[in-house]
Each structure stands twice: as structure tokens, then as C-alpha cells.
Amino acid sequence: MARKTTRGKRGSQFVGVVGMGYVGLPLAREFCLGGARVLGFDILAERVRQLNKGVSPIKHVPHSDLRKMRATGRFRATGQMAELAKPDALIICVPTPLTKNREPDMTYIEDTSRTVARYLRKGQLVVLESTTYPGTTREVMIPLLENSGLMAGRDFYVAFSPEREDPGNKQFRTATIPKVVGGLDQASLEKALEVYGTAIQKLVPVSSCEVAEACKILENVYRCINIALVNELKMLFDRMGLDVWEVIRGASTKPFGFQPFYPGPGLGGHCIPIDPFYLTWKARQYHLSTRFIELAGEINTQMPSYVVQRLMEALSARKKVLNGAKVLVLGLAYKKDIDDVRESPSVELIEILRERGAKVDYNDPYIPHTHKQREHDLRLRSKPLSAALLRRYDAVLIATDHSVYDYRWIVRHARLVVDTRNACGGVKGGRRKVVKA
């Protein structure tokens, strides 16, 4: 049963958040605004320096919020891991990517757990928030923490509480999203609930770390499968001469038994493209094949190639070929109105287009230039939009439907628009120029 909390009880907690990225920094903000003292840990020296100057590295935590956090005197960032011994609770928010073989990459969790173990002290609470397969906290993190000589459940507390971030969502923020919490034992659960009560309005205790881990996986598998369904229907309905967005709009009028999901150029973000594969990997240890999940993953991962095929067909209809064509990609972020490029299908689209000989540029008002990622390094800068710029390209590919784009203006000045988000659905007179993909 969910618990309401006493968020805002000042001076009640001293919390360390390990990883000042898209999960850790919003969480640190809520703890700080809720009255806790917060020490933010990050291995990137430049990020630490910027945070302590009140400069936020991510769009949905504005500079003004960070300046408020600093002004309270309750927030500081550090790269000195020896300070891990100071807080009463340590919350780990590090990446959980896939290997090239699409298996879980536990490197970040393992390295962080080893580092925490060097400074762990009696009575501390350690919480993992990184999305992962059921069993990670107990099987991976705890043995590494116990290399400290301390025993989990006896000398220190352990819990798992999955992050639930949705960048760009104006209806919810970290403090207002109900938070699932599972402890190693009852004492750990109570300790974790006490700590999170400073920052989160509603807590949902569950019986174990494994249940909490499975809750997050279920949430993301649910979305992955339903998005795969509409992506597959998009390809089918296109061949049938039907508009999948109109079909979804009509189906959405049913007041029960239906929830709309929308197709796109592929899956993005750190969760939905990755997390289901964590579960399929774990399932093999139990001699089970998660065919439904794997099929959904296959459908979603082929969407960038489908979009490029539609672009090639649109160019061919205008007696042009992709090899040598100039293409402008609108939107590098994985979804609208954010600056997050993790697993963005736009990146893969650009790479496929380049491989096929196209000359590719991009525009994204929130991402002025690309940066090196684990598997990608586009080395591009955002082109400032103008009517003259749009006219220079053989095709404009809408990959992210940012709200700041004027789609009527884009259609008016572009030669050809390939729309993967139905962003131009309401533009009158654009049928001859706009191809949905």
C-alpha cells in the first residue's frame, strides 16, 4: 500500500547521490528542496565544477533550480570519493547499458559498488536506482559492498528503488511520481522509506529488492511491446493505404479497454530500448525464452531502416537517389522538447544515411553540437534554421517533433518532408510535399 510522506522535514537527512546525470540530478534537487543536505558525486571533473557554479548540464533541471539548491547551502557536488563516508544514505544512479552482444553491462554498477565498499561505514543505507534485471542488488551489488568487511542487513542497510524519470513531462516531476521501494529486509525497507520521504510525496513499499527491480522492467517491457505493435501496424497500414495516426485517433475514442501508443522512427532513451533485453537475458538462466519481448525488440530496432527506405522511395518518386542527396534531420533528441540523445533513433538514422552516401546535417534547438557517445561520434553542429537552409536540401526528415518547430513554415520552404512523428498532420496543402514514415 502506498504511503504518503512528510516531505519537507528540514535537516532530517544527509544524502549522497552517486551520478549527477538525467536521474541523479533531478533526485538531488528534490532531496535538497525537501530539506535534506545533499552531496552529489560524479567522476567528471568539469561537471562537478559546473554544478558548483550553479550551471545545470541537463535541460529539465534549469540553471535557476540549481542556483536555488546552491543558495540553500544544502547542496554541493564533489569528485572526491572519500566523501562517500559522510552521508547517512548513498543512492546510486549510474548507467546500465548493453554490451555489443545485447547483454547487460554491469560495469558501472560493479565499479561504483567497489568504490562505495572502500568507504562504507556502519549504519549507512545504500540504494541502487539503476534499472536492471531482478536479482542485481542481491547478486551483484551486495557481495561487492561486503568486501568492506561489513555485512548487509547487519552492519548497513540495502534497498532498491527504480528511477521513474520522464524528461519533458510537464505533469509530473520526480517528487510527484509515486516511488516503488524494496528493501533487503524490513529494517532496510523502513530506513529507505524514511530517507525517500524527505523528497518524494508518495512511496510504494514492496516485499523485496527483486520485486522492485521487476516492477521497473515490467513498466518498460509494457511500453516496448505496445510501441512495437503500433510500429508494425504502421508498416502494414502504409501498404494498405491507411494512415496509422488516423486509425489510432479513431480507436482512442473508445472510453475503455484501449490505451493509445504511437509509432516513431525507433525507440530512444536509456530505458525502453535497453531494459527488456535485461529481462530476456535473465530469463535464459531459468531456461525460458521470452519470445514476445524479443520480437518486440526486433520490430523496434528495424524502424530506422524502414524510415530510410521510405525516404529512398520518396526521393525516387522525384527522380533522385539517396546516394549524394542532401538530407536535413530535424531533431536529435530521442523525444520532443528535451536535450537527451541517449539511444536516440536520430543518431542511427544519420549513420545509416551516411553509409548510403547521403550528405547529412541536423538541427536541434536543444542540442547545439553532438558529443562522443559509447558507440557513436557524429561530429556535427546544429544548423540554424532558415528558409534558405531548408530549400538547400533534397529532403527534410522530421525525427523529433519539438514543439518549437513551425511545421507549416517548414513544409512551405522544404522541397520534401519525410515525417516520422505525424508532426505535419495538421498542415493544410502539404500532401504533395509530405511523406509519412
**Which positions are annotated as active-site residues?**
271
Sheet holding 202-206, edge to edge: 3-4, 202-206, 179-183, 157-160, 125-128, 89-92, 14-18, 37-41, 75-78
Cell of 306: 524502414
Three-class secondary structure of residue 430 per DSSP: coil
- Whether the CA torsion 59, 308, 417, 422 is positive or negative: it is negative
Residue 185, phi then psi, degrees to nearest 5: -150, 180
Helices in 267-302 by DSSP H: which ranges? 275-284, 291-301
Instruction: Count the neighbouring beta carbons within 10 Å of the beta carbon of residue 268.
Output: 24
Beta partners for residue 38, in sequence order: 15, 75
Compute the distance between CA of residue 13 and CA of residue 28 in angstroms, rounded to an integer: 12
Of 125, 94, 121, the closest CA to residue 194 belongs to 125
Compute the distance between CA of residue 228 and CA of residue 112 in angstroms, rounded to an integer: 34
The answer to whether the CB of 393 falls within 8 A of the CB of 328 is yes
Of 4, 23, 333, the closest CA to residue 166 belongs to 23
Close Cβ partners of 104 (under 8 Å, ≥ 6 residues apart): 96, 98, 132, 133, 277, 278, 281
Instruction: Count the neighbouring beta carbons within 10 Å of the beta carbon of residue 421.
Output: 23
Compute the distance between CA of residue 238 and CA of residue 118 in angstroms, rounded to an integer: 57
Beta partners for residue 140, in sequence order: none
179-183/157-160 β-pairing: antiparallel
Cell of 339: 536535450
Of 277, 249, 278, the closest CA to residue 263 belongs to 249
Cell of 211: 520485486
Compute the distance between CA of residue 156 and CA of residue 196 in angstroms, rounded to an integer: 17
Q: What is the DSSP string of 164-195?
A: ---TT-SS--GGGS-EEEEESSHHHHHHHHHH
DSSP assigned state of 8: T
